[in-house]
Amino acid sequence: MDTQLGNIICKKILVVCVGNICRSPVGAEILRRRLPRQNIYSAGLCALVGHSVHPSALQVASQYGIVIEHHYAQQVTRALCHQADLILVMETSHIPLLVNIAIEARGKIMLFGGWHKNKNIPDPIGYDEPIFNTMFHHLLEAADGWVRFFDK
């Protein structure tokens, strides 16, 4: 049975951050492993197109058995938003930016941390590895909330 969010059947989930090299690819991979029936992909609002996952994000994820292979950052587009049944953003400030790209997507945008105290997940770029570790744990906790939602 497909899980519904309002009147939307959630088969395709787009995870969005800024550069698509830290939060969104790691968050998407965590969800992919926990929600194998959904098609989960990621993109960035100002993507570093073609770049792989940031080395510190890869290192932290691999410490927890999550290997992210073959990820190359892509720019979020209206078409990607249109394809998605649900769009998860890392920060509330991402919502209006995404709406500027695809206004029709507004009703399917939620915070990745929406089931975890409606928490924003801050960008770790420019910080040391301990901040990447904090980011990873925030993503895990937030993903747990989505898993509980989809397992209803």
Amino acid 5: pLDDT: 57
Distance CA 117, CA 36 (A): 24
Instruction: Provide the pLDDT for residue 127.
Output: 87
pLDDT value of residue 14:
98
Contact between residue 121 and residue 138 where contact means Cβ atoms under 8 Å apart = yes
Confidence at residue 115, expressed as pLDDT on a 0 to 100 scale: 85
Sheet holding 86-89, edge to edge: 39-44, 12-17, 86-89, 109-111
Closest CA to 28 of 45, 11, 16, 44: 16
CA dihedral (42, 35, 148, 4) positive or negative: positive
- Give the chain's domains with CATH numbers: 4-150 (3.40.50.2300)
Pair of tokens at residue 86: 């649900």
In the block, residue with structure tokens 């009703």: 107
DSSP 113: B
Cβ atoms within 10 Å of 61's Cβ, excluding its own: 22
How many residues in total does the chain contain? Answer: 152
pLDDT of residue 101: 96
Longest CA pairwise span in the chain (Å)? 43
Report, as residue numbers or ranges, the catalytic residues: 17, 23, 123
pLDDT digit string (tens) for the chain, length 152 residues: 355 554 457 899 999 999 999 999 999 999 999 999 999 999 999 999 999 999 999 999 999 999 998 999 999 999 999 999 999 999 999 999 999 999 999 999 999 998 877 789 999 998 888 899 999 999 999 999 999 888 76
